[in-house]
Amino acid sequence: MKIRNMVRKYAAPVVVTSGVLVSGVASAAGGALDSALVTEVKTSVLADAATASGAGFAIMAVVLSLSIGFGLLQTFVRKGAQG
Protein backbone atom coordinates (compact mmCIF):
# COMPACT_ATOMS: atom_id res chain seq x y z
CA MET A 1 0.00 0.00 0.00
CA LYS A 2 1.37 3.40 -0.94
CA ILE A 3 2.03 5.98 1.77
CA ARG A 4 -0.46 8.38 0.18
CA ASN A 5 -3.21 5.76 0.37
CA MET A 6 -2.31 4.96 3.97
CA VAL A 7 -2.59 8.64 4.90
CA ARG A 8 -5.98 8.86 3.21
CA LYS A 9 -7.16 5.69 4.93
CA TYR A 10 -5.99 6.51 8.45
CA ALA A 11 -6.02 10.33 8.68
CA ALA A 12 -9.82 10.70 8.74
CA PRO A 13 -10.39 8.23 11.62
CA VAL A 14 -7.68 9.96 13.68
CA VAL A 15 -9.31 13.36 13.13
CA VAL A 16 -12.77 11.99 13.93
CA THR A 17 -11.51 10.23 17.06
CA SER A 18 -9.81 13.42 18.24
CA GLY A 19 -13.04 15.34 17.67
CA VAL A 20 -15.04 12.76 19.60
CA LEU A 21 -12.58 12.94 22.49
CA VAL A 22 -12.76 16.73 22.64
CA SER A 23 -16.57 16.77 22.40
CA GLY A 24 -16.74 14.09 25.11
CA VAL A 25 -14.57 16.22 27.35
CA ALA A 26 -16.76 19.24 26.62
CA SER A 27 -20.00 17.42 27.41
CA ALA A 28 -18.51 15.80 30.53
CA ALA A 29 -17.59 19.23 31.83
CA GLY A 30 -21.20 20.35 31.49
CA GLY A 31 -20.50 22.57 28.50
CA ALA A 32 -17.63 24.45 30.11
CA LEU A 33 -14.19 23.42 28.89
CA ASP A 34 -11.55 22.86 31.51
CA SER A 35 -8.47 24.44 29.95
CA ALA A 36 -6.06 22.14 31.77
CA LEU A 37 -7.88 19.06 30.49
CA VAL A 38 -8.05 20.44 26.95
CA THR A 39 -4.32 21.16 27.06
CA GLU A 40 -3.66 17.63 28.33
CA VAL A 41 -5.72 16.07 25.51
CA LYS A 42 -4.05 18.33 22.94
CA THR A 43 -0.59 17.40 24.20
CA SER A 44 -1.47 13.71 24.14
CA VAL A 45 -2.84 13.87 20.59
CA LEU A 46 0.19 15.80 19.34
CA ALA A 47 2.54 13.29 20.99
CA ASP A 48 0.70 10.40 19.34
CA ALA A 49 0.83 12.18 15.98
CA ALA A 50 4.57 12.76 16.35
CA THR A 51 5.12 9.09 17.20
CA ALA A 52 3.06 7.97 14.21
CA SER A 53 4.87 10.40 11.93
CA GLY A 54 8.28 9.18 13.10
CA ALA A 55 7.25 5.56 12.60
CA GLY A 56 5.92 6.37 9.14
CA PHE A 57 9.19 7.99 8.08
CA ALA A 58 11.16 5.02 9.45
CA ILE A 59 9.02 2.58 7.48
CA MET A 60 9.30 4.74 4.37
CA ALA A 61 13.11 4.79 4.69
CA VAL A 62 13.27 0.99 5.00
CA VAL A 63 10.97 0.46 2.03
CA LEU A 64 12.92 2.94 -0.09
CA SER A 65 16.27 1.37 0.79
CA LEU A 66 14.94 -2.12 0.04
CA SER A 67 13.58 -0.93 -3.28
CA ILE A 68 16.93 0.60 -4.24
CA GLY A 69 18.83 -2.47 -3.01
CA PHE A 70 16.71 -4.92 -4.98
CA GLY A 71 16.99 -2.71 -8.06
CA LEU A 72 20.78 -2.78 -7.81
CA LEU A 73 20.77 -6.53 -7.19
CA GLN A 74 18.55 -7.08 -10.22
CA THR A 75 20.91 -5.02 -12.40
CA PHE A 76 23.91 -6.94 -11.07
CA VAL A 77 22.29 -10.32 -11.78
CA ARG A 78 21.14 -9.24 -15.23
CA LYS A 79 24.64 -8.08 -16.19
CA GLY A 80 26.15 -11.30 -14.80
CA ALA A 81 23.70 -13.40 -16.81
CA GLN A 82 24.64 -11.60 -20.01
CA GLY A 83 28.31 -12.32 -19.45
Digits of tens for pLDDT over the chain (83 positions)? 566 666 566 665 655 566 655 565 555 555 567 888 888 889 999 999 999 999 999 999 999 999 999 999 999 998 887 86
CA 23-26-32 angle, 5° bins: 155
Query: Where are the alpha helices (H) located in the chain, listed in sequence order?
Result: 3-28, 35-82
